[in-house]
């Protein structure tokens, strides 16, 4: 089974923010496949899941706040028994220019608290991740204010989400190596 975890914060207040680009990517994957989201609670951790038509790909949106994403993902992992090497975590990254994608086989959290929570709860850094460039914080700006802001009118958010979906689909079909080679070197939109 492949598991694609999109990170974000629950609720309408955060829906269109930069920090929720992970949710937007998995939402688009579910919409493209015409599969519904299903709410579930596992060990008290809320999440939404959608099973793609292939029966082998589970989309996940943890409905804990970002910094506790690992609680929901680890609860699902205990319940369903998936291998952490088959989990792709989709996260926002303000260290990447807008629309750049960066896939990695594993490693650290790169300062992303949601990813840090997942790595800690699953006790493994060996899971693929897709970092989606949301633009860089302006000099003198606050990181938290930036990630919780909405995208600007000149930013092609739909194109960004589409590219994130293409990268996730490539990972599902062809694996991390092919996805890294194809998407890590693509120019920004």
Q: Which residues are catalytic?
A: 19
Instruction: Please say whether the beta carbons of 44 and 69 come within 8 A.
Output: no
Residue 132 CB: number of other CB atoms within 10 A?
26
The string of DSSP letters for 95-120 reads TS-TT-EEEESS---TT-HHHHHHHH
d(CA 137, CA 143): 6
Alpha helices, H only, the chain: 21-32, 69-80, 113-122, 143-147, 157-174, 176-183
């Amino acid at each position: 089974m492949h598991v694609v975890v999109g990170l974000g914060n629950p609720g309408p207040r955060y829906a269109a923010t930069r920090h929720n680009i992970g949710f937007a990517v998995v939402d688009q994957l579910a919409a493209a496949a015409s599969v519904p989201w299903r709410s579930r609670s596992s060990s008290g951790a809320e999440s939404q899941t959608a099973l793609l038509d292939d029966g082998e790909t589970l989309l996940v949106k943890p409905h804990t706040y970002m910094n506790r994403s690992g609680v929901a993902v680890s609860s699902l992992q205990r319940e369903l028994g998936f291998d952490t090497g088959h989990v792709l975590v989709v996260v926002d990254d303000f260290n990447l220019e807008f629309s750049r994608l960066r896939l990695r086989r594993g490693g650290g959290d790169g300062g992303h608290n949601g990813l840090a929570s997942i790595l800690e709860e699953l006790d493994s850094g060996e899971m693929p991740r897709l970092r989606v460039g949301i633009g860089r914080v302006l000099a003198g700006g606050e990181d938290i204010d930036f990630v919780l802001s909405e995208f600007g009118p000149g930013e092609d958010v739909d194109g960004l989400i589409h590219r994130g979906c293409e990268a996730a689909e490539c990972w599902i079909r062809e694996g991390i190596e092919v996805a890294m080679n194809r998407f890590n070197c693509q120019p920004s939109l």
